[in-house]
């Protein structure tokens, strides 16, 4: 079985598991009534618009402060500019310069959100056309298990002051990505294989991504509707340590670019509470499964970056 077929089979298995959880399928004795109720409750609560929460405090649905702000430093472990590949606003998801980051997240209602991140490159001559001055995302994202999410994100070469003569643009909205996903906890059957401590947790999500317009490096042209499937899991401890991995599958392999990863991963310490500091390693480069060719400057541990972030208290 080829690696591509193996990944497709894995996605089918996960979709079957998620579907079984969602509809309460399976043997009655193995599926507690309470869990089936949580599945249905999570699905039905997704994309809810509880306008009444605007008139009263709600400890669960809406944060006490709808606006959260964080500042940080993102430092690449390697900065080989010549090995990077891309075209116009799309390219390698690797940093080539230490970067100061300011992130703003606004939750006006329930789990509806808007996120804006600004970047300042300490070595501006290393910034590539696809390295953004800012990124943004919005949509619905509930962290609870058994919920659905719908998110638009644009992480391409957005510019505060674009040089139109060089083909830059403030943003290219149709080159962002729309993601639809379902969250679920790791099946109980698998927990003994993965959990180090019974207090730890593994939560997963399975979803689909669509990019209306994407750069094809082989033909140096824009093409339509790049599609991929994603399966991600995050291992967390009560002390806020974590590790995560996300696998990607492209039904049409020709659409996958050198910078589009087969998988991404990260680990570190993360605390979302105001006034805390988080330290994380993340690798979003063009990682490849064994047996697949990796593009130059992609897919190595040093193609990731380390970030230190402070969540500002209000």
How far, CA to CA in Å, does 251 sit from each of 7, 16, 209? Answer: 10, 18, 11
Q: By CB neighbour count within 10 A (0-12 exposed, 13-18 middle, 19+ buried), where does 78 fall?
A: middle
The model's pLDDT over 283-303, given as tens digits with 9 standing for 90+, comes to 999 999 999 998 888 889 999
The domains of the chain are located at 3-312
Helix H or strand E segment including 149: strand 148-154
Task: Please list the residues that pair with 293 across neighbouring strands.
Answer: none
**Confidence (pTM):** 0.85
What pLDDT shows up at residue 84?
Answer: 62
How far, CA to CA in Å, does 164 sit from each of 129, 135, 161, 176? Answer: 12, 19, 9, 19
DSSP-based three-state secondary structure for 22: helix
CB atoms within 10 A of CB 237: 15
The residue with tokens 């570190």 is 268
The model's pLDDT over 53-70, given as tens digits with 9 standing for 90+, comes to 666 654 444 446 799 999
What pLDDT shows up at residue 57?
Answer: 55
d(CA 264, CA 185): 20
d(CA 277, CA 308): 7
Phi and psi based region of residue 18 (left: phi greater than 0; alpha: psi -120 to 50; beta: remaining): alpha
Report residue 25 as tokens.
């399928």
Exposed e or buried b for every residue in 136-153, given b needs 16+ CB within 10 A?
A: bbbbbbbeebbbbbebeb
Report residue 132 as tokens.
């953004």
Q: Which residues contact 268 (CB under 8 A, 6 or more apart)?
A: 241, 242, 278, 279, 280, 281
What pLDDT shows up at residue 88?
Answer: 77
d(CA 71, CA 280): 14
pLDDT at residue 231 is higher than 90: yes
More confident residue, 202 or 60: 202
Report residue 182 as tokens.
């379902």
What pLDDT shows up at residue 179?
Answer: 98
What pLDDT shows up at residue 39?
Answer: 83
The residue with tokens 């605007």 is 54
């Amino acid at each position: 079985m080829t690696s591509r077929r193996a990944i497709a089979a894995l996605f089918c298995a996960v979709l079957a598991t998620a579907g079984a959880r969602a509809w309460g399928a399976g043997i009655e004795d193995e599926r507690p009534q309470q869990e089936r109720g949580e599945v249905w409750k999570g699905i039905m609560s997704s994309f809810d618009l509880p306008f009444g929460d605007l008139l009263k405090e709600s400890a669960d649905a809406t944060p006490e402060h709808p606006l959260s702000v964080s500042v940080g430093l993102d430092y690449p472990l390697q900065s080989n500019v010549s090995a990077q590949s891309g075209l116009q606003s799309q390219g390698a998801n690797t940093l080539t310069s230490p970067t100061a980051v300011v992130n703003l997240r606004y939750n006006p209602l329930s789990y509806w959100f808007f996120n804006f991140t600004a970047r300042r490159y300490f070595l501006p001559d290393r910034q590539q056309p696809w390295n953004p001055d800012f990124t943004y995302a919005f949509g619905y994202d509930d962290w609870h298990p058994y919920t659905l999410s719908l998110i638009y994100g644009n992480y391409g070469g957005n510019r505060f002051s674009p040089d139109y003569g060089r083909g830059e643009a403030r943003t290219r909205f149709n080159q962002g990505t729309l993601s639809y996903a379902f969250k679920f906890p790791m099946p109980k059957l698998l927990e003994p294989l993965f959990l180090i401590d019974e207090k730890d947790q593994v939560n997963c999500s399975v979803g689909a991504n669509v990019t209306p317009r994407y750069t094809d490096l082989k033909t140096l042209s824009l093409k339509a509707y790049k599609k991929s499937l994603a399966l991600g899991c995050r291992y967390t401890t009560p002390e806020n340590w974590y590790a995560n991995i996300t696998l990607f599958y492209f039904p049409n392999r020709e659409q996958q670019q050198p910078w589009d990863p087969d998988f991404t991963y990260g680990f570190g310490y993360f605390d979302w509470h105001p006034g805390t500091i988080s330290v994380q390693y993340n690798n979003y480069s063009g990682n490849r499964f064994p047996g697949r060719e990796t593009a130059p400057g992609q897919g190595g541990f040093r193609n990731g970056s380390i970030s230190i972030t402070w969540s500002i208290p209000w």
